[in-house]
Amino acid sequence: MFRDACIRLEFDKVLGEIARHAHSEVTCARLQAMAPLADGAAIRLTAARVEELRGLDRLGIRLGLAPFADVRPLLEQLRPAGAFLAPHELLLFIPLLRMSADISRQLAPRTDVPLIKGIEPPLSPFPEILEPLEASIDHDATIMDSASTLLRETRRAKRALAGRIRKKIEEIVRDSGIEIFLQDDFITQRSGRWVIPVRMDSKGMVKGVVHDVSASGETAFMEPLEIIPFVNELENLAADEKAEEIRILRQLSAWIREDAPRIAACFGTLVELDRLASIACWAEEFGLTSPDVNDQGELRLNAARHPLLLFQQRQGTLSHIEPLDLVLGTGTPVMVITGPNAGGKTIALKTAGMLSLMALCGLPIPAGERSTVPLFDALLVDIGDDQSIAQSLSTFSAHVARVCAILERAGTRSLILLDELGAGTEPLQGAAIACGVLSELQQRGAMVIATTHLTDIIGFVHRTPGMVNAGMEYDDQSFTPLYRLVVGEPGQSHAVEIARRFGMPEGVIAFARRMLGSAGSEFATLLTELRQRRRELEEARSGLDEREHRLAQRAAALEDRAAEVERIRREAAEKGWSEARELISTSRRRMNELLEEYKRERRSEVIDKLRKNEQALADRLKPLPEEERLVPLSRVVVGDRVHVRSLGHGGTVVQLMERQGKARIQAGRMEVDVPLAELFAPLSKGAEKQRPAATGHWQVTSVENDAQELKLIGQRVDEALDALETFLNQALLAGRREVRIIHGIGSGRLRQAVREQLERHPLVALYRPGEPHEGRDGATVVTLKQ
């Protein structure tokens, strides 16, 4: 259902342009035979493979394709056992097998061309055939000495013997005194024999055999008798050489015969790769895009151009191509284009048809992004004049015959292109027939694009749902076509103005205008006003688009600034947390040292140092503005969760010291005494984590603990490490020498975390797993420093 459309739309010219990039005649023939596909999956697969090759091309990578010949007839010649090929025929396999090996290696490591690598069958390198061929057949189709040892030795012997023969002849001529009988002083060959030129009247004076006579009859070419044994030996060597060459050709041919099916399959894969690469190269040359092929019956062409016009532009015969924007769908499947002669109506029609054919072949098209083509079953075309004297068909009769054939085949998945609908007969009747055709095609569910000059069709299209008028824009001031399709308003033929522009006499123009009457003038005026209103609306829309673009730019700039601020905030927070962690680590080490001194009974000095350390820590922590309002507490009881402003952190009240106006707060691993005035209602969970510690007065208070062991079983790692830290401090203060940590075995994570903490703890002298009576590996015994 596409063959006639391909012919009428000149699809073969597009395929011929693509075939310029092919590397074999077989590929050219396959490209020229391309036709629209009925399977949407196959179309998308072809398009996707072409896009993969275009992606490689953008990376500066091309498949290692080179010219190659069709070897399938040669493989057929080798089918009988014992058959062998001539050197020039074997030479044709070398580029083919070399390409198969090179492309196979080229694609093997790549992960960005899965569809190309998925072409079946995959290419094979055939080293067991390629290497002997390259070592045996030279580029000029001769068998090289390296083909076999016997051939190399035989040829060496031949060359040596030929040198001896030449030397022997020179000795004969010099020593026997026959130089005076020679016509010339050179040695040559006749019929494979070594001869010297002797004057015909002196041939009896030279002992030898005449093998040839010159054209003039004055020179006899004679073989001296003394060299005949040498020449016979040389012929024997030549026979041995020929026999070895034939053996080599038989061997090479036999190897090819064994792998003939695989070679034929790889040849098919190479042709397919060459076809796809030709399409990709052509698409890159013209900057084409791959359209979507849909099943919803939508035809959308954005900034489309006819490919044949692109070829003319490349050749320099066309300076500018006006892009075509066209949309048809299930809601509006029929479009009628009107406008002046030479205004671009037929080009618009052919562009839609040509690009539909290309898309259904899996080819990229000269159109913008978001272009889509429905999956048609048929493309039916009536373009051109089929007038035939032999068949007694007028222009109108030929058009009617074509339209009748189209009506018979049109269906829901058909695209119909009708050029000059209703032309060739009386306008009123032609318009009536055209409207009937459009109505019938619409009822059959076909998608229709038609062109016409008949204004009577415009009203019918305007009144009929599912049909839309369109016109080719025309400059009313200069009376020149602009070649732009305007959907929604009909075009004018401007026949009178065009005739006047081309020199029609004014009398004829005036008469024509009187014949048209006021109706035609009013219609033209109405269309002019509609176009002026459309231009005004387009200008207003352009202004709105520009304003929207500026607003979008401002919004993007604000987003960028917000992102930059957020980045700076994150970096500052990360830096602050890093410094805080370092400060806490330093303070912890200092606290452990002070605890050791406290253990050695230097309590008063330690308390002074703790206070100094407190002040230094407070000086280093800069206060930050509060993120939310702190709510004071009217009453505090043991067990309440509170927020300590001076710490910038929450905790739990474990003891009230009302006389001193203080409370003991458990905050993480520490217990601190703080004034009651520093206690506020707890913050939300997120705010609690983010609030920085503020400066204030706080002190560390040791809590005596006589426990000699710590049970951590069932606790999370972070909770266990907090408890371990407090336990070790209290054990050291209590004067313990050895303590036991019970962590259990379980998955081993808690045990490992505890021992890693003990490994680097400044209060730990050593640690070991428990003895059998101490819990074995489920407990760790720690020896503290004294």
Q: Omega before 465 cis (within 30°)? A: no
Whole-Å CA distances, 471 to 349, 382, 453, 458, 489: 12, 20, 11, 10, 6
Return the DSSP state at 221.
E
Write down the pLDDT at residue 619.
59
Evaluate the CA torsion angle 647, 648, 651, 655 in order and state its sign: positive
Residue 139 in domain = no
Specify the CATH number for the domain of residue 769.
Answer: 3.30.1370.110
For residues 680 and 775, membership in a common domain is answered with no
Average pLDDT over residues 235-263: 94
Contacts of 785 (CB under 8 A, 6+ apart): 596, 732, 762, 763, 764, 765
For residues 643 and 727, membership in a common domain is answered with no
Average pLDDT over residues 311-320: 87
Residue 685 in domain = yes
Contacts of 413 (CB under 8 A, 6+ apart): 297, 374, 375, 376, 377, 378
Return the DSSP state at 137.
B
For residues 340 and 329, membership in a common domain is answered with yes
Return the DSSP state at 476.
T
For residues 34 and 175, membership in a common domain is answered with no
Residues forming a β-bridge with 374: 294
Cα–Cα–Cα angle for 118, 120, 121, rounded to 5 degrees: 125
How far is it, in rounded angstroms, from Cα 641 to Cα 697? Answer: 20
Residue 339 in domain = yes
375: its two tokens: 């999956």
Average pLDDT over residues 748-765: 88
3-state secondary structure of 61: coil
For residues 415 and 338, membership in a common domain is answered with yes
- Beta-strand ranges (E) seen in 280-390 are 292-294, 299-304, 324-328, 334-338, 372-374, 378-382
CA-wise closest residue to 610 among 589, 590, 581, 586: 590
Residue 312 in domain = yes
Residue 276 in domain = yes
Q: Are 381 and 353 spatial neighbours (Cβ–Cβ below 8 Å)?
A: yes
Domain count, the chain: 6
- Beta-strand ranges (E) seen in 271-338 are 292-294, 299-304, 324-328, 334-338
3-state secondary structure of 281: helix
* Residue 160 pLDDT exceeds 80: yes
Write down the pLDDT at residue 201.
75
Residue 640 in domain = yes
Domain of residue 326: give its range: 293-502
Mean pLDDT estimate for the chain: 83
The predicted-structure confidence for 269-284, as pLDDT tens digits, reads as follows 999 999 999 999 999 9
The runs of H, that is alpha helices, within 645-748 are 685-690, 717-733
Write down the pLDDT at residue 615.
60
Q: Omega before 73 cis (within 30°)? A: no
Residue 606 in domain = no
* Residue 525 pLDDT exceeds 60: no
Final residue in a domain of this structure, among 485, 502, 519: 502
For residues 481 and 570, membership in a common domain is answered with no
Final residue in a domain of this structure, among 479, 502, 525: 502
Residue 134 in domain = no
For residues 348 and 487, membership in a common domain is answered with yes
Specify the CATH number for the domain of residue 216.
Answer: 1.10.1420.10
For residues 430 and 356, membership in a common domain is answered with yes
Q: What are phi and psi of 727, to 5 degrees?
A: -65, -45
The predicted-structure confidence for 615-630, as pLDDT tens digits, reads as follows 666 555 544 444 445 7
* Residue 697 pLDDT exceeds 60: no
Residues forming a β-bridge with 381: 417
Final residue in a domain of this structure, among 657, 679, 702: 702
Write down the pLDDT at residue 705.
47
For residues 122 and 179, membership in a common domain is answered with no
Contacts of 613 (CB under 8 A, 6+ apart): 587, 590, 591, 594
Question: pTM for the full model?
Answer: 0.62
Specify the CATH number for the domain of residue 396.
Answer: 3.40.50.300
Instruction: Looking at mean pLDDT, say which of 286-295, 517-526, 605-614, 638-647 comes out highest.
Output: 286-295
For residues 487 and 524, membership in a common domain is answered with no
For residues 116 and 206, membership in a common domain is answered with no
Return the DSSP state at 346.
H
For residues 582 and 665, membership in a common domain is answered with no
More confident residue, 678 or 21: 21
How far is it, in rounded angstroms, from Cα 14 to Cα 18? Answer: 7
